Amino acid sequence: MSAAEKVPPPQLVFDLPHRQAQGMEDYLLSRSNAAAVELVDRWPNWVHPAAVVAGPAGAGKTHLAHVWAARSGAASIAATGLSDDTIPLLAAHGALVVEDIDRAAFDHRVLFHLLNLTREKGFTLLVTSRQAPGELDIALPDLRSRLRALPLATIEAPDEALLKAVLVKLFADRQLDVEPHVIGYLALHMERSMQAATEVVAEADRLALAKQRRVSRNVAAEALASCGRPSELT
């Protein structure tokens, strides 16, 4: 048998979807997100009927919004989907999550009306954004003023301990048991953000499946490079 005949055929890779846990018990608490978690935990005893959670992409804003929606019975809508039809949606549920108001293309008039309703009717509104309200370009002066006056809970970039815990959780969500030294290697060499952690774990999972190997340090390094985050193997 020739050497070429001994080469095994490439493995078929089935990139199946996985389901991430979304309960508060699955949300990892640290100094960087404590204010946002406290805000959600404090409901329904909010001083103001509306609040803002701000933080970078992948920081956990949507996760917390889902937790709050489950507790409050709130409906959820992306800011870009706001329309006059959203008003009866708030009235029907008594609470509403409006996500990603940092996106420029949304109806500012409708959001202003929703905020007025929270004050007039006792409804509750949770708004998420990648930027604090004061940093947003809001053309409607009354809405700009109203948003800046809302209680704000900011999620900061994760510290090293939280980043390691997030990596362990993301791998566990994919039924992958990764050794501590690999977690430490990733946390040391990757960008310190939740978005980066999500991307690197997904790529490491894909590579390990394709190679039919565990997520080793070499696989982790290759995942970092594939995600545009090259690192030295030392």
Looking at residues 5-28, what average pLDDT do you find? 45
- Per-residue confidence band for 202, with pLDDT thresholds at 50, 70 and 90: very high
Residue 199 has pLDDT above 60, yes or no: yes
Tokens 């003023």 belong to: 145
Domain ranges (residues) in the chain: 24-154, 158-226
Lowest mean pLDDT segment, chosen from 14-23, 51-60, 83-92, 192-201:
14-23
What pLDDT does 47 receive? 93
- Per-residue confidence band for 112, with pLDDT thresholds at 50, 70 and 90: very high
How confident is the prediction for the chain on average, in pLDDT?
A: 86
Each residue's pLDDT tens digit, 27-76: 677 888 889 999 999 999 999 999 999 998 878 898 899 999 999 999 99
Class of domain 158-226: mainly alpha
For 4, other C-beta atoms within 10 Å of its C-beta total 6
| Strand order, beta sheet including 152-154 | 75-78, 95-99, 124-129, 50-54, 152-154
Cα angle value 162/165/170 (rounded, 5°): 120
Sequence-distant (6+) residues with CB within 8 A of 21 are 169, 173
Class of domain 24-154: alpha beta
Residue 146 has pLDDT above 80, yes or no: yes
What pLDDT does 195 receive? 85
pTM over 0.85: no
Report how far Cα 183 is from the mean position of its chain's Cα atoms.
Answer: 20
